[in-house]
């Protein structure tokens, strides 16, 4: 697993590694070509709108890798909470939650 700080640094510096950038107009004009670059060329593409990163287009295996990393992180957090006894602590009764949010 990458160091925790790496994610924070990447967000702060808007670092997308070796991803290629396109504009929303380029996506509209060349959607099939861009999708083929991702699916068959293994590229990761960041779409910019008004010069700012808007969405990313990645292959399904990249998405699955991200989801597996998230699952791993969630499992680590669950184990930490279980070991510290946080999971055994009583929560807020549902009635209080409903009253608080106005249900």
Give me the CATH number covering residue 37.
3.40.1620.10
Cα 40 vs. chain centroid, distance in angstroms? 22
Kindly state whether residues 65 and 31 are assigned to the same domain: no
Each residue of 70-91: b (16+ CB within 10 Å) or e? eeeeeeeeeeeeeeeeeeeeee
pLDDT on residue 89: 66
Domain count, the chain: 2
Kindly state whether residues 2 and 15 are assigned to the same domain: yes
pLDDT in tens, 48-76: 999 999 999 999 999 999 899 888 888 88
Kindly state whether residues 51 and 66 are assigned to the same domain: no
pLDDT on residue 30: 98
Kindly state whether residues 42 and 9 are assigned to the same domain: yes
Number of helical H runs and strand E runs in the chain: 4, 3
pLDDT on residue 3: 59
pTM for the model stands at 0.66
Cα 48 vs. chain centroid, distance in angstroms? 17
pLDDT on residue 64: 94
- Residues 73 and 79: their CA atoms lie apart, in Å, by 10
Kindly state whether residues 2 and 44 are assigned to the same domain: yes
Kindly state whether residues 41 and 65 are assigned to the same domain: no
* Domain region containing 12: 1-58
Residue ranges, the chain, pLDDT below 50? none
């Amino acid at each position: 697993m990458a160091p925790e700080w790496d994610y924070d640094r990447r967000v702060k510096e808007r670092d997308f590694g070796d991803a290629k950038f396109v504009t929303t107009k380029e996506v509209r004009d060349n959607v099939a070509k861009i999708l083929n670059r991702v699916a068959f060329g293994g590229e990761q593409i960041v779409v910019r709108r008004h010069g700012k990163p808007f969405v990313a287009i990645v292959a399904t295996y990249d998405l699955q890798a991200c989801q597996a990393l998230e699952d791993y992180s969630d499992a680590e957090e669950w184990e930490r909470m279980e070991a510290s006894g946080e999971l055994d602590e009583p929560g807020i009764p549902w009635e209080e939650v409903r009253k608080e949010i106005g249900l």
